[in-house]
Amino acid sequence: MPAPAERAEELREAIRHHDYLYYSLDRPQISDAEYDRLFRELRALEEEHPELISPDSPTQRVGVEPLEGFGQIRHLEPMLSLANAKDEVELRAWHARVLRLTEQAGFAPEELRFVAEPKIDGLAVSLRYEEGRLASGATRGNGVIGEDVSQNLRTVGAIPLRITAAQGAVPALLEVRGEIYLPLSAFERLNEQRVAAGEPTFANPRNAAAGSLRQLDPQVTASRPLTIWNYGLGFVEGEQFESHSQVLAWLAQHHFRVSPDVETASDVDELVAIFRRWEARRGELEYDIDGVVLKVDDRGLQAALGSVGRDPRWAVAYKFPPSTAQTRLRRIGINVGRTGVLNPFAVLEPVQVGGVTVGLATLHNEEDINRKDLREGDMVVVQRAGDVIPQVVSPLTELRSGQEQPFRMPEHCPSCGTPVVRTPGEVAIRCPNPDCPQKLMQLVEHFVGRSAMDIEGVGKKLVHRLFALGLVRDPADLYDLRYDDLIALEGFQERSVRNVLAAIEASKERPFGAVLFALGIPHVGAQTAEILIKRFPSVADLREAGAGEIAEIPQIGNVIAQSVADWFGESRNQRLAERLEGVGLRMRAEVQEEAAGPLAGRTFVITGTLPSLSREEATRLIERAGGKVTGSVSGKADYLVAGENPGSKLEKARSLGTAVLSEHALEELLGG
């Protein structure tokens, strides 16, 4: 008879094997009764010998205490979003760009291959494994930081809790990317159960999956039959992959659930044909898809093509035509954004579109309204795809009665009455008044948001009430609020007031990147803010930097650089930043402890095209070895790593006496 520890491991391996057959391959080899017998034996053995319990044991998928709230996890590599191709013309344009950039990167276009995968309409997650064990899991969040839903992800049977060495080499650290979803049959059963219990139903499977994963009680998540399709890797340490196809094969080999319908193609006509096949069969699937994801297969070429903002150049989501419906356009309203742009929107008779009741829809701008000849009172076609904001596609002119009214943008701001301005060359119409109440309210709403200062309990309604009472005029005023200000508000009691004040106080601990994003600088999103603070780690640094210096950051273009410089050049914005710093917000990035390594304490600048490394790869290698990478050549830089077409940085480095390295010389510094 085997020892308890040996028998426990035998049972775990057997249960993991049958979990894989059941959840990933849908080919169970034993009955439910036999599976339950194995599970009960393992549980009894662990109860008798608690020292044998391990975090990756199948018995530990459920049973933890409910959470009080979700923490945050920073992804080791950003979770990029995807640009969309809404029709064949846009797909062919994307393919042509990839071909052109492939040649420019020195790759042979005739060797270009693509991988096509169904685009699951679910919730993107990242699973972090350390030494083969599931250490944590997070939602996409803003692409850089996601919500810590580790305990809930452990309840999903299709997610391996451990990668065993028997399946091949196990990287020391890796991020597995996937899409959590709810099968359609499970979605229908869940809604039936909610109706029977007198609870509101979910609008669609994606909402149901997101709501199920974001439960504070993991027992609730465990009761929902969530599953996952894994589609790639983020950060990897200890394993290298030449192609995306190889990544998918590795994932399948290591018992991760990978779509069996992945296809490869070598030209754009094949990609279109694959899309048409998926479009024809989408109604036969047991899960929702809203298109096909197309990726360049060669990972070296992926790195060479790089990204634009959050969108990789080497991948695109070819989307199915969106769901549509018809309804009446009651009127066109105007919303003043935080930068002063007047944004028209449609007020509709409520209608169901793609499983969601729609009462408002975007109209983009005046030019869009005129081009479509939309009139108040028209019957219109409304479309919605996935989580995209509903749009008014066109009017049904044949149904007009003659009572419909043409729309004209106002000549004065509807919020403050200031005459609007039209900047030459721009479609946007703006309110130039820096004290416009609507602009300021929108800024404060943005400031308190989850990805910004994350001030729980301070939402749109409360912000509007605070403005109406004159208690808040800009973000800094939030930190002057007192108990007596809030307790007098209708619906507020002592506990809710204390919670709001505590959330405001807690926001002072938010990192500088979040604060920079919260300031509402035009064109600066959460990821752009993180990029900026690597080069300019404080408000003072940004205030002193000019647009030219900011634009030297590889991922920052001239438009963003000018916007940042303009924002910090305005005295009212400088005063706001000073007030926020005065109340205790973090206006400087925390100094990271310097990594140990052969390049510790040395500063590098990278310029030109390197023979085999992308700029991002070279940066990652230098930082892992303890070095720092900056965007501009100065007396503080120790080395300039120069490739082909180095530009003016090479001349400046030589004039300053900065050492110039080739890629080969850099590799020697790194120790080969």
CATH of the domain at 610: 3.40.50.10190
Q: Based on the domain organization, do 455 and 481 belong to the same domain?
A: yes
Give the domain-ending residue among 459, 494, 509.
Answer: 509
418: in domain: no
Q: Is 114 left (phi over 0), alpha (psi -120 to 50) or beta?
A: beta
The arithmetic mean of pLDDT across residues 494-522, rounded, is 92
Q: Based on the domain organization, do 223 and 147 belong to the same domain?
A: yes
Q: Judge contact between 550 and 569, C-beta under 8 A.
A: no
- pLDDT band of 553, cuts 50, 70, 90: confident
Q: Give 632 or 334, the one with higher predicted confidence.
A: 334
Query: And the tokens for 477?
Result: 């005023």
Return the active site residues: 119
What is residue 325's predicted lDDT score, i.e. its pLDDT?
84
Q: Judge contact between 660 and 636, C-beta under 8 A.
A: no
Give the domain-ending residue among 509, 531, 551.
Answer: 509
570: in domain: yes
- pLDDT band of 557, cuts 50, 70, 90: confident
- Which residue intervals of 66-200 are DSSP H helices? 88-104, 150-153, 184-196
* pLDDT tens digits along 17-47: 777 766 555 566 776 667 767 877 888 888 7
Q: Based on the domain organization, do 470 and 330 belong to the same domain?
A: no
**Weakest-pLDDT range from 291-295, 310-314, 487-491, 588-592:** 588-592
Q: Based on the domain organization, do 188 and 276 belong to the same domain?
A: yes
Q: Give 423 or 496, the one with higher predicted confidence.
A: 496
Q: Based on the domain organization, do 480 and 553 belong to the same domain?
A: no
94: in domain: yes
Q: Provide the greatest CA pair distance for the chain.
A: 89
- pLDDT band of 64, cuts 50, 70, 90: very low
CATH of the domain at 375: 2.40.50.140
Query: And the tokens for 266?
Result: 């070598």
- pLDDT band of 387, cuts 50, 70, 90: very low
Beta bridge partners of residue 538, listed in sequence order:
588
Query: What is the count of structural domains for the chain?
Result: 6
Q: Based on the domain organization, do 127 and 233 belong to the same domain?
A: yes
246: in domain: yes
Q: Judge contact between 161 and 133, C-beta under 8 A.
A: yes
Q: Based on the domain organization, do 96 and 245 belong to the same domain?
A: yes
Q: β-strands 639-642, 659-661: how paired?
A: parallel
Q: Based on the domain organization, do 504 and 539 belong to the same domain?
A: no
Domain range for 575 is 512-582
Q: Based on the domain organization, do 518 and 480 belong to the same domain?
A: no
Half-sphere exposure of 431 (CA within 13 A, CB side): 26
* pLDDT tens digits along 217-254: 888 888 888 999 999 999 998 788 999 999 999 999 89
Q: Based on the domain organization, do 45 and 95 belong to the same domain?
A: no
Q: Give 284 or 126, the one with higher predicted confidence.
A: 126
CATH of the domain at 297: 3.30.470.30
Q: Based on the domain organization, do 233 and 175 belong to the same domain?
A: yes
- Cα–Cα dist 62/45, whole Å: 17
Cα pseudo-dihedral 282, 285, 291, 296, rounded to 10 = -120
231: in domain: yes
- Within 10 Å of residue 166's Cβ, how many Cβ atoms? 7
- pLDDT band of 63, cuts 50, 70, 90: very low
- pLDDT band of 443, cuts 50, 70, 90: very high
What is residue 411's predicted lDDT score, i.e. its pLDDT?
93
- Does 58 have pLDDT greater than 50? yes
Q: Judge contact between 339 and 439, C-beta under 8 A.
A: yes
What is residue 4's predicted lDDT score, i.e. its pLDDT?
79
Q: Which H or E element spans position 630?
A: strand 628-630
- Does 309 have pLDDT greater than 80? no
* pLDDT tens digits along 235-245: 998 788 999 99
User: Looking up tokens 């070819």, which residue turns up?
Assistant: 318
Beta bridge partners of residue 358, listed in sequence order:
351
- Does 354 have pLDDT greater than 70? no
110: in domain: yes
Give the domain-ending residue among 522, 550, 582.
Answer: 582
The arithmetic mean of pLDDT across residues 469-494, rounded, is 91
Find all residues with CB under 8 Å of 275, minimum gap 6, and list them.
91, 116, 291, 292, 318
* pLDDT tens digits along 164-174: 766 667 888 99
pTM over 0.75: no
- pLDDT band of 180, cuts 50, 70, 90: very high
Q: Based on the domain organization, do 259 and 309 belong to the same domain?
A: yes
Cα pseudo-dihedral 300, 302, 306, 310, rounded to 10 = -140
